[in-house]
Structure 1
Amino acid sequence: MNIAYASKSITTMQPKTTSPQNQPLPQRGFTIVDLLVVIVVIAILAAVSILTYNGIQKRAGTAAYVAAADTAEKQIRLVSVDDKIPQATHVHDS
């Protein structure tokens, strides 16, 4: 392996900072429009995720109330069977 060749290939891989006429190249980077587009996209994603999260919370709360009501109904039926109390009519169907 030639050491001179290896060092030469490393130096040619460095980015050019001047043009052939030794004038500085324009700086490359993000423009303000690029940054604004990224900010708008992030804001849209945040809004969608917040709305989705709120919908999930409401459905979970409703499911918790229904589960609690079903549990209470089952407990009342068990107590009435154990104590031989006549059962009330069924209010809702599952």
Structure 2
Amino acid sequence: MELSQRLDLGEAVEVEQPQDAFARLSSLIDDSFNLIITPEATLADSGLSSLDRIELAIRIEDHFGVPITEETYEEHTTAGDLADYLAEQE
């Protein structure tokens, strides 16, 4: 008898979480700013204000464990580029 059956925990519930960095980043942006982005979208033209970009940097650091600076945004201008950077740094 399985331990979960003996403890009567019922069936395990699997929580779907996006696995690739872009899916996680776009979900974070959508949840935080109610904004849908594509990999080709530039953050500068996405509608995020400079304060939003600061908040996003903090959220990225919390979620991915990767610090984001203004230079990071300048070097990785599209959401896809930023996601690739995050995947490399994780």
TM class by smaller structure: under 0.3
Greater helix content: 1
* Higher Rg of the two aligned structures: 1
- TM-score computed with the length of structure 2 as normaliser: 0.25
Greater RCO, CA 8 A, separation 6+? 2
